[in-house]
């Protein structure tokens, strides 16, 4: 099976290589830009407590889809799960509007192979903070799915479909929020919400915040913080970044031992994603949850 058929990408790698890889693909990125600009519509829809509450639910649910699903499962196989729940994790991650699980996972695995070098997809020390934060995701060179780096998951047709049609999950979420807001407006008008308000607050604003929290791991996580381990990259640990990214801010820990699902290696290192994965393990939805090796723990305690 060809790479194009695996990924659903029309343009093969050879075609991409003839272009300037750092050129911004403005047309393709119009939805990405529009989602962020649409936050300004809050001046028209207003904000209600129920919209904020639902927005927090969509934020944290999709963050878990990225941190536990896209990152710790699809990229690093840090735990095991069923094929059905694997697809659920993929859909939760795709709802964050950050492309599909194969695209995300392939690029992240490449990042670990070439971290903080000129070949890395988002090295802040080489290409600057703006590139590391969002420029890389908008570039022509990073448009295709690096399927050669994630063939273990590309063998599942449902994941290939989700990767090729990654827009279905966020569009479906937006439609569901509109329907919920319209129903609440009719059934409980005292709540002061509407379909348009929920779309703006719980989708556009929530998605934009999730964009920049996620991107901060690539930009800030390689420039600011402490280094417990002497890794071959510039990764840092940051309590504040870990707090707002559900544990992803323990980035130096992660680069020292990427196979660990738990990125807060010590009890005082807050890792909300890990707590969620533990809960799923108690429910029997995931198993074989991997932690840091004893040697790595001893090394970090020196």
Q: How many Å apart are CA 247 and CA 268, to the nearest integer? A: 12
Residue 112 near residue 258 (C-beta atoms within 8 A):
yes
pLDDT at 109 over 90: yes
Q: Averaged over 61-69, what is the pLDDT? A: 98
Domain boundaries, the chain: 35-112+153-300
Q: What gap in Å lies between CA 70 and CA 73, rounded to an integer? A: 6
Output the pLDDT for position 20: 81
Between the CA of residue 63 and those of 102, 215, 216, what are the distances in Å? 17, 12, 13
Q: What are the distances in angstroms from CA 192 to CA 35, 49, 203?
A: 23, 9, 17
Residue 246 burial class via C-beta count within 10 angstroms: exposed 0-12, middle 13-18, buried 19 and up: buried
**Contact between residue 21 and residue 13 where contact means Cβ atoms under 8 Å apart:** no
* Residue 285 vs residues 31, 93, 301: alpha-carbon distances, Å: 34, 17, 32
Phi, psi of 224 (to 5 degrees): -125, 135
Distance, in Å, from the CA atom of 258 to the CA atom of 260, rounded to the nearest integer, reads: 5
Helix (H) or strand (E) holding 81: strand 80-81
pLDDT band at 22 (very low <50, low <70, confident <90, very high): confident
Please answer whether residues 104 and 134 qualify as being in contact, where contact means their C-beta atoms are separated by less than 8 angstroms. Answer: no
Mean pLDDT, all residues of the chain: 93
**pLDDT, position 19:** 64
CB–CB of 163/8 below 8 Å? yes
pLDDT of res. 282: 98
Which pLDDT value is given to residue 21?
81
Give the helix, strand, coil percentages of the chain, each rounded to 5. Answer: 60, 5, 35
Say how far residue 153 (Cα) sits from the centre of its chain.
17
- Which residues 6+ apart lie within 8 Å of 67 measured at CB? 245, 246, 247, 248, 273
**For a pLDDT cut of 70, what percent of the chain falls above it?**
94
For 241-285, what is each residue's pLDDT tens digit? 999 999 999 999 999 999 999 999 999 999 999 999 999 999 999
Rounded-to-integer distance, Cα 87 and Cα 81, Å: 10
Whether 10 has a pLDDT exceeding 50, the answer reads no
Q: What percent of the chain has pLDDT over 90?
A: 90
Region 55-60: mean pLDDT is 98
pLDDT band at 8 (very low <50, low <70, confident <90, very high): very low
Question: What are the strands, taking DSSP E only, across 232-297?
Answer: 286-287
Residue 23 has pLDDT above 70, yes or no: yes
C-alpha of 179 from chain center = 26
Whether the pLDDT of residue 171 is over 50: the answer is: yes
Q: Are 93 and 207 in contact (CB under 8 A)?
A: no
190: CB partners within 8 A, 6+ apart: none
Helix 49-64 × helix 206-219 angle, to 10°: 40
């Amino acid at each position: 099976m060809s790479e194009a058929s695996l990924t659903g990408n029309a343009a093969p790698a050879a075609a991409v290589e003839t272009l300037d890889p750092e050129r911004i693909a403005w047309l393709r990125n119009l939805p990405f830009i529009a989602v962020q600009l649409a936050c300004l519509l809050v001046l028209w829809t207003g904000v209600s407590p129920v919209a904020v509450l639902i927005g927090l639910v969509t934020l944290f649910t999709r963050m878990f889809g990225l941190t536990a699903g896209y990152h710790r499962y699809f990229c690093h196989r840090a735990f095991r799960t069923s094929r059905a729940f694997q697809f659920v994790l993929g859909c939760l991650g795709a709802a964050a509007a950050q492309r599909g699980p194969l695209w995300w996972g392939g690029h992240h695995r490449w990042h670990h192979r070439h971290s903080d070098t000129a070949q890395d997809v988002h090295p802040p020390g080489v290409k600057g903070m703006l590139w590391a934060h969002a420029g890389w995701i908008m570039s022509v060179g990073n448009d295709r799915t690096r399927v050669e780096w994630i063939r273990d998951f590309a063998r599942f047709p449902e994941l290939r479909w989700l990767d090729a049609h990654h827009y279905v999950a966020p569009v479906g979420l937006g439609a569901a929020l509109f329907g919920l807001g319209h129903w609440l407006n009719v059934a409980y008008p005292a709540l002061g919400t509407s379909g348009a308000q929920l779309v703006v607050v719980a989708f556009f604003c929530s998605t934009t915040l999730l964009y920049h929290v996620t991107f901060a791991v690539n930009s800030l996580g390689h420039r600011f913080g402490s280094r417990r381990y002497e890794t071959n990259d510039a990764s840092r640990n940051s309590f504040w970044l870990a707090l707002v990214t559900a544990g992803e801010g323990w980035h130096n820990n992660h680069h020292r031992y990427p196979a660990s699902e738990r990125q807060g290696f010590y009890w005082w290192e807050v890792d909300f994603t890990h707590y969620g994965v533990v809960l799923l393990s108690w429910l029997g939805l995931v198993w074989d949850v991997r932690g840091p090796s004893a040697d790595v723990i001893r090394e970090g305690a020196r």
